A and B are shown apart, each in its own frame.
Chain A
Amino acid sequence: MLIKLPDGKEIEVDQEGFMTNPELWNEKIAVSFAKLDGVENLTPEHWIVIKYIREYYTQNSLAPMVRNICKTASLPLKKIYELFPAGPAKGACKWAGLPKPDGCV
């Protein structure tokens, strides 16, 4: 389905809001996803996580292990949940433009 982002552009997402065509992702889309989830400003910590997930996905076509996200960003998991209230899968991976990761309901 199509959703309208806060900047007015429309993108195709699945029923849970994950991008169906991850190649079309850009940083503006991450900012828009964050706003849809109630986070107005992305901090440098947000970007470290998003860029790591994006880079890992580009190389492996998979979401990275959550332990590796924490390790790379040098952040405890609790902090990841503060940054991405819906968590690493339904928050961080979604904002990074990944399709719905395996293991999600």
Chain B
Amino acid sequence: MTEIIYLDNAATTFPKPPEIYDFMIDFYRKNGVNPGRTGCDMALEAEKVIQETRQMLTKFFGAKGDHNRLVFTYNASDSLNTIINGVLKQGDHVITTMMEHNSVIRPLNHLQAEGRITVDWVKTDKKGVVDPDEIKKLIRKNTKLVIINHGSNVIGSIQPAKEIGAICKAKGVLFAIDAAQTAGMVPINMEEMNIDLLAFTGHKSLLGPVGIGGIYVREGVDVKPFRVGGTGVHSAYPYHLEEYPWRLECGTPNLVGIAGLHAGQKWISKHGLDNIRKHEMHLAQELVNGLKQIEGVVIYCPNKLENRLPVISINVQGFEAADVGTQLDVDHNIVTRTGLHCAPKVHETIGTIKSGTVRFSFGPLSPGKDVDAVINAVKDIAKTGLSRTKTTKIMFEVYTC
């Protein structure tokens, strides 16, 4: 079988390190029982891994509080829905950015459409970065929440969370971050960054499987649950428990997913977050260096990738993004993600709302030879694209960060 070059790690990392698959399978075979529901040794062992994972992630995100405030969810969208619907009340004002994913855009739009909240969308500079002062200017008496995408899944820009967190703390406004792309890629310290609510997914740079995510809720912040039900403890009590983690968790937890996060934490700790990031950023920079030499290619990032994620978006003149993706896939066995990436406001910002972009994103196991393969493939497509520019009606607005 022809080797596939997988460069869609911003969607989900693939493959995961073998140790992670091995741990999940072995753990589920040996301890795949319902944790917290019975006192048998197998259930206690399963519960132990869950609690260890809460502790590992609490430490990993630099949270100083109780590890039980690290709650598990299905994914980042689930976490963000829980945060947005759990902290906002009638009449609240929210500040967010043009870099958001639909996992923030849509919950906010729904609440706004129902007349419950008002929202301000902060624009970015040409590199896709928000000026913290622009957020400060928008804070008013009823501002309850500032929620930002920490790292863009389209153009890889990273927001100045620490500066924004300091402003929020000074003004008494809750600060939440969508760390879907940054958790496991960029160091996050909730304490230093004054983050009140952190939403993450497990299947990207945290290297777990799909179907697991989480929230860390800082001490002193309360999120109202919008799902209630079984917790396995205090079963005679007629209402859902107010204590964390049960407050935001109900039903049987995703044991395999949590085991994957456990193994992912060990792998990241063994290899070092900085080393993983250096590896991926080196590949991303090499890719940019190669792509910028190709006529007909528009790259949506700065020449030098400083304070960015290993996520590179491009377009090729003469083809829509989806068609570039099809050719990369079918002719070159390169897997990418094309279109709007569930982040339409980013594409509005960079002028690609009509057809989106082609996104390359690296993972911890991406080999260096992938970069050369991509550059050669894009050269081939761009050559054909240029020959088509006079015969097709497709036009691109050129915007370079």
Whether both chains belong to one complex is answered with: yes
Q: CB distance A105 to B322 under 8 Å?
A: yes
Given contacts A87-B320, A89-B322, A105-B340, contact A66 B329 (CB under 8 A): yes
Chain B: how many interface residues by the 8 Å CB criterion? 20
Write out the residue numbers on chain B whose beta carbons fall within 8 Å of the beta carbon of A67: 330
Q: CB distance A89 to B356 under 8 Å?
A: no
Q: CB distance A77 to B322 under 8 Å?
A: no
Partner of A103, one of B322, B327, B384, B388: B322
Q: CB distance B388 to A85 under 8 Å?
A: yes
Write out the residue numbers on chain A whose beta carbons fall within 8 Å of the beta carbon of B356: 105
Partner of A81, one of B322, B354, B384: B384
Is A88 engaged at the interface, CB distance under 8 Å to the other chain? yes
Write out the residue numbers on chain B whose beta carbons fall within 8 Å of the beta carbon of A70: 330
Nearest-CB distance from B100 to chain A (Å)?
18
Q: CB distance A77 to B384 under 8 Å?
A: no
Q: CB distance B331 to A77 under 8 Å?
A: yes
Partner of B326, one of A76, A77, A105: A77
Partner of A105, one of B327, B339, B384, B388: B339
Q: Mark B325-369, 1 if CB is under 8 A from A, else 0.
A: 011011100000011100000000000001110000000000000
Given contacts A85-B388, A105-B354, A105-B355, contact A77 B330 (CB under 8 A): yes
* In the bound complex, CA of A89 to CA of B338 (Å): 13
Write out the residue numbers on chain A whose beta carbons fall within 8 Å of the beta carbon of B354: 105
Nearest-CB distance from B350 to chain A (Å)?
14
Write out the residue numbers on chain B whose beta carbons fall within 8 Å of the beta carbon of A81: 323, 327, 384, 388
Tell me the interface secondary structure of chain A in the complex: helix
Write out the residue numbers on chain B whose beta carbons fall within 8 Å of the beta carbon of A66: 326, 329-330
Q: Mark A87-105, 1 if CB is under 8 A from B, else 0.
A: 1111000000000000111
* In the bound complex, CA of A59 to CA of B323 (Å): 25
Nearest-CB distance from A35 to chain B (Å)?
15
Is A78 engaged at the interface, CB distance under 8 Å to the other chain? yes
* In the bound complex, CA of A77 to CA of B329 (Å): 11
Write out the residue numbers on chain A whose beta carbons fall within 8 Å of the beta carbon of B392: 85-86
Write out the residue numbers on chain A whose beta carbons fall within 8 Å of the beta carbon of B327: 77, 81
Write out the residue numbers on chain A whose beta carbons fall within 8 Å of the beta carbon of B326: 66, 77, 87-89
Write out the residue numbers on chain B whose beta carbons fall within 8 Å of the beta carbon of A104: 322, 339
Is B293 engaged at the interface, CB distance under 8 Å to the other chain? no
Write out the residue numbers on chain B whose beta carbons fall within 8 Å of the beta carbon of A89: 322-323, 326
Nearest-CB distance from A56 to chain B (Å)?
16
* In the bound complex, CA of A14 to CA of B394 (Å): 19
* In the bound complex, CA of A90 to CA of B326 (Å): 12
Write out the residue numbers on chain A whose beta carbons fall within 8 Å of the beta carbon of B322: 87, 89-90, 103-105
* In the bound complex, CA of A89 to CA of B354 (Å): 16
Q: CB distance B384 to A85 under 8 Å?
A: no
Q: CB distance B384 to A87 under 8 Å?
A: no
Given contacts A103-B339, A105-B355, A105-B356, contact A87 B323 (CB under 8 A): yes
Q: Which 4 pairs, one residue from A and one from B, show the smallest C-beta to C-beta distance?
A: A87-B323, A105-B339, A77-B330, A66-B330
- Name B residues whose Cβ lies closer than 8 Å to a Cβ of A: 319-323, 326-327, 329-331, 338-340, 354-356, 384, 388, 391-392
Offer 27 A-B interface pairs, CB within 8 angstroms, sorted by A. A66-B326, A66-B329, A66-B330, A70-B330, A76-B331, A77-B326, A78-B331, A78-B384, A85-B391, A85-B392, A86-B392, A87-B320, A87-B322, A88-B326, A89-B323, A89-B326, A90-B320, A90-B322, A103-B322, A103-B338, A104-B322, A104-B339, A105-B320, A105-B321, A105-B338, A105-B355, A105-B356
